[in-house]
Amino acid sequence: MREIKVKLILCLLLLSGAVLSQEKDSARTRHFIALRFGLNQIKEANLHPKVSTGTITELSYGFEKRKKHWQRFQLSFGYSRLKTSLEELSKSINLKMNISYSYNFRLVKSRKFNYYLGPEANLAYNACFLPNWDDSHLYWADYLSVGARNIFSVSMKNKKEWVTEFSIPLFSIFSRPELYRLYKIDETDFEGIVHSLNSHITAAHLTNVFFVHLQTEYRFPVFHSKTQAFSFSFDWLRVRHDDGNPFSQLSYQLGIKFIL
Amino acid sequence: MKTYRKYFVMILMVLVITSCLKDEPFKDPYEGFQPVSRDDGWMTSTPENEGMDRSLIDGAYQLVYKDTRFTMARSLLIIRNGKLIAEAYPHDKGDIDRIANIQSMTKSYTSILTGIALKQNLLDSVNQTFYSIYPEWFTSNPEKKEITLKQALTMTTGIDFNNNEDTQTLYQTTANSVEFVLSLPGNYEPGIVFHYHDGAPHLVSAAIQKRYGKPLSEFADRYLFQPLGITDWKWEAAHDGNTFGAFSLYLKPRDVAKFGQLLLQNGNWNGQFLADSAWIAKATQPIVNSSVLGTPYGYYFWIYPAYQGYAAGGHGGQKILVVPEKNLVIVYTAWGYTSEEFFDNFNELTDLIVRSCE
C-alpha cells in the first residue's frame, strides 16, 4: 500500500510539471530521435562477481520545450549482448527501457551561458538474462526515481550550441530479484515478465539506488531550422537491496540526434 | 571558453580511463579442507586417520578452488569410513548452512523412496502399470496404459519429453501435471529406448502420492529426512500439488552427504533400515545402457564401473558418488542453473579422491 502511495505521489509530481509547463511556457515543442552506440558493462552480484561486457545500442524518442525554462520528455530502449571473460560467446542479454521527464528552471542567464536546474522523474526497467550462468531466472534492477537534472548550455557562433547535462536521483522506489530463489523458471509470457519486473518493490535511499547520468552534446543547425547533435554520454548505475547484492552497470555511448 | 573546454575534455578522459567495473574473484581464498565439528550427526576425522593421501585430497580441493571448470562449485565433501574427513565451501562459507537446489540428484531420492514405498506395499511391484494406480489420468492417452514403474525408473517409457522445453511447461502448467507428461508423443515402444528426462520421475512421484495420500515430499520427510535428522529442506511441487520427482529438492551439503552414507550403509542408519537394502542393490546396478556416453544406468543412478561405484547426478555437475569398495562417499554441489560451459570433467576430481584411498 505504501509503495502504491509513493508511486502516486511520483506520478502527480510528473503530471504537475507538465501542467505547469503548459501554463507558463509557450515555446515550440521540438521532437527528437537519437541513436546511441557504445560500451556496456554489467555486474549482477546476486549471481556472480564477474563483469559482463558488450556493445549497446539505444534508440530514443522525445520532445523538448525550451524558452525561459527547459522541459523534456524522453523514451529510450536499449539492447546489449554481453559476455564475461570466462565465456566465448556473448549469450547474455541486457534490455533497458527508460522514460524520463524533467522540468528545469533557468537559474543563470548570460549572453553565452545558461544554467538550468530542476526535478526529473525517471522510470527505468533494466532486465538481464544470463543463460550460461542461470538459465532459470530473469535478473533485473528497476526503479522509479525523482532527482535533480542540471543543464549547462553554452551558445556558440552560427547557432551552434554545446549542452552538457548531469543528473542524479534523490528518492526512489526499486525492484530487485530476491537473492535466493526457488527453481522458479520465470514466467516467460508477457504478463509473467511484467509481474516479475514489478515484484519485490522497496522504497530506497541513496545507497540503494544511485546513478549518474552525464551527457554532453554538440548541437548545430542543419536545414529548415532543424538541428543535429553529436553526443557522448556516461551512465553509472548501482542498485542494491538491503537483503541482496548489488547490480552495477556502466556504459559509455556515442550518439547522433536529430531535433525536428 | 577554450580553457573550460580543455578542462571538460580532460575530465571526460579521466572518466573513460578510470571508470570500468572490476571483476572480483568468484571464490574465497583456499584455506584447507579440515571439517568443523558440529552437532549434526557427523563425526569428523582426518585423511591420515582414515588411510587417505592428504596431498591428493589437497590437489582435488586446489582444482575446485582454482580451475575454471569448477567456477560454480559450492561445496566438496569427502566421507570415508562414515566420517567426514574433508569439506570446503569455495563460493561462500555460509553455504554450509544454506539449502540449495540439487537438481536432478533429486531423481535418486525418488528412486530410494520408491523402494521404501514398495517395501511398505504402497506399490505392488516395479512391473505395475501407472494405469493401475491412476487410470483417471489416462482418459485422453489410452495408448500409454502399458507404461510400467520399471520403465519410468529406467527412462525407457518411450515418451518424447524434451527437458529443454517440457520441463518448463511441467513447472508452469496449471492443469494436471501427470496428464501433461502423458499427453506428450510416444516415440518408441515402452521398455526399449533409453531417453533421459524429467517426465518419468514425475509419474513415479505421482504414483507414490496417489497410494500414500500425501505428496512425495511428505513421504520423504516421514521416512527419510526425519530419521536422518534432516530438518531444513524444501521440495517443490507442480501447481496441482504433485512433488517434482525429477528436480528441485533443496538440501544442505552435509545433509546430501547423509543420503550418500545411507546408500553406502545399504539403507542402515544407526541400526535402523530406512531404505530397503535389496532395492539399493538393484537400483545401483546397471539395468540399461544410457544414451549419455553409454554410461550404465540403474533406477535413477548412474553406474561407474571404473570406480565400482554409482552416483546421483544433477545439473551444474553436482554429484553424490558412492564407492563401496573404498567405503567412500564424495559430494560435490554447484550452482544448479549453469550451462554446460561451466561444468565438465568431474572424473579428474573424483580420480584424485578415489586414488587417495589407500
From B162's Cα to the closest Cα of chain A, the distance in A is: 16
Residue B66 counted as domain residue: no
| CA–CA distance, B223 with B225 (Å, rounded to integer) | 6
B234 to chain A, any CB pair closer than 8 A? The answer is yes
Q: Are B212 and B263 in contact (CB under 8 A)?
A: no
| CA–CA distance, A246 with A242 (Å, rounded to integer) | 9
B233: amino acid identity, one letter: W
Strands (E), A138-246: 139-140, 142-155, 161-175, 201-204, 209-221, 227-239
Residue B345 counted as domain residue: yes
| Residues linked to residue B310 through DSSP beta bridges, in sequence order | B303, B322
- Mean pLDDT (whole number) for B205-232: 98
| CA–CA distance, A58 with A251 (Å, rounded to integer) | 11
Residue B204 counted as domain residue: yes
Q: Are B69 and B344 in contact (CB under 8 A)?
A: yes
B7 to chain A, any CB pair closer than 8 A? The answer is no
Domain extent at residue A66: 2-259
Of A42, A43, A183, which is closest to B101 when you measure between CB atoms? Answer: A183
Number of domains in chain B: 1
From A18's Cα to the closest Cα of chain B, the distance in A is: 32
The ipTM is 0.83
B25 to chain A, any CB pair closer than 8 A? The answer is yes
Q: Are A69 and A24 in contact (CB under 8 A)?
A: yes
A168 to chain B, any CB pair closer than 8 A? The answer is no
From A51's Cα to the closest Cα of chain B, the distance in A is: 5
DSSP letter assigned to residue B185: -
What are the φ and ψ backbone dihedral angles of A197, each rounded to 5 degrees?
A: -70, -15
Cβ of B172 within 8 Å of Cβ of A185? The answer is yes
| CA–CA distance, A208 with A198 (Å, rounded to integer) | 16
Which H helix or E strand runs over A31?
Answer: strand A29-44
A143: amino acid identity, one letter: Y
Cβ of A133 within 8 Å of Cβ of B168? The answer is no
Q: Are B238 and B173 in contact (CB under 8 A)?
A: yes
The residue among B11, B12, B21, B344 with the most chain A CBs within 10 A of its CB, best to mutate, is: B21
The residue among B6, B318, B338 with the most chain A CBs within 10 A of its CB, best to mutate, is: B338
Cβ of B337 within 8 Å of Cβ of A183? The answer is yes
| CA–CA distance, B352 with B53 (Å, rounded to integer) | 10
Cβ of B342 within 8 Å of Cβ of A137? The answer is no
Contacts of A64 (CB under 8 A, 6+ apart): A29, A30, A32, A70, A71, A72, A73, A259
**Given the DSSP bridges, would you call strands A227-239 and A201-204 parallel, antiparallel or unpaired?**
unpaired
Per-window interface: B 267-306 vs A, CB < 8 A: none
| CA–CA distance, B86 with B46 (Å, rounded to integer) | 7
Of A141, A88, A153, the C-alpha closest to A250 is: A141
pLDDT in the model for residue A207? 82
From B4's Cα to the closest Cα of chain A, the distance in A is: 11
Cβ of A183 within 8 Å of Cβ of B71? The answer is no
CATH of the domain at B181: 3.40.710.10
Of A229, A230, A249, the C-alpha closest to A239 is: A249
CATH of the domain at A203: 2.40.128.100
A157 to chain B, any CB pair closer than 8 A? The answer is no
B217 to chain A, any CB pair closer than 8 A? The answer is no
Residue B34 counted as domain residue: no
| CA–CA distance, B328 with A183 (Å, rounded to integer) | 30
DSSP per-residue letters across B230-298: --S-EE-B-TTS-B-SSS-EEE-HHHHHHHHHHHHTTTEETTEE-S-HHHHHHHTS--EE-SSTT-EE-
B23 to chain A, any CB pair closer than 8 A? The answer is yes
Cβ of A112 within 8 Å of Cβ of B1? The answer is yes
How many beta carbons lie within 10 A of that of residue A63, not counting itself? 15
Domain extent at residue B172: 96-356
- Mean pLDDT (whole number) for A167-178: 92
Q: Are B114 and B278 in contact (CB under 8 A)?
A: no
**B164: three-class secondary structure by DSSP:** helix
Residue B5 counted as domain residue: no
Cβ of B337 within 8 Å of Cβ of A51? The answer is no
Of B140, B155, B158, the C-alpha closest to B202 is: B155
**How many interface pairs between A and B have CB atoms less than 8 angstroms apart?**
84
**B32: three-class secondary structure by DSSP:** coil
Report residue B44 as a C-alpha cell: 569428523
* Residue B231 pLDDT class (50, 70, 90 cuts): very high
Cβ of A216 within 8 Å of Cβ of B336? The answer is no
pTM, full prediction? 0.87
B336 to chain A, any CB pair closer than 8 A? The answer is yes
B104 to chain A, any CB pair closer than 8 A? The answer is no
- Mean pLDDT (whole number) for A166-171: 92
Residue B351 counted as domain residue: yes
pLDDT in the model for residue A25? 46
- In a 13 Å sphere around the CA of B79, the CA atoms on its Cβ side amount to 28
From B326's Cα to the closest Cα of chain A, the distance in A is: 35
Q: Which residue of B has its CA nearest to A113?
A: B1
DSSP letter assigned to residue A56: E
- pLDDT > 60? residue A135: yes
* pLDDT tens per residue across span B93-147: 999 999 999 999 999 999 999 999 999 999 999 999 999 999 999 999 999 999 9
pLDDT in the model for residue B13? 66
The residue among A43, A44, A48 with the most chain B CBs within 10 A of its CB, best to mutate, is: A48
B55 by Cβ neighbours in 10 Å (0-12 / 13-18 / 19+) ranks as exposed
* pLDDT tens per residue across span B306-337: 999 999 999 999 999 999 999 999 999 999 88
Of A34, A47, A51, the C-alpha closest to A249 is: A51
Cβ of A234 within 8 Å of Cβ of B20? The answer is no
| CA–CA distance, A248 with B137 (Å, rounded to integer) | 49
DSSP per-residue letters across B67-122: -GGGTTEEEEEEEETTEEEEEE-SS-GGGGG--EE-GGGHHHHHHHHHHHHHHTTS
Cβ of A41 within 8 Å of Cβ of B21? The answer is yes
| Mean pLDDT taken over chain A | 87
Number of domains in chain A: 1
DSSP letter assigned to residue A182: -
* pLDDT tens per residue across span B255-310: 999 999 999 999 999 999 999 999 999 999 999 998 777 789 999 999 999 999 99
| Residue A47 to residues A156, B75, B98, Cα–Cα distance (Å) | 48, 17, 16
- pLDDT > 50? residue A79: yes
DSSP letter assigned to residue A62: E
Cβ of B1 within 8 Å of Cβ of A182? The answer is no
Of B15, B71, B247, which is closest to A234 when you measure between CB atoms? Answer: B15
Cβ of B20 within 8 Å of Cβ of A137? The answer is no
Report residue A197 as a C-alpha cell: 519486473
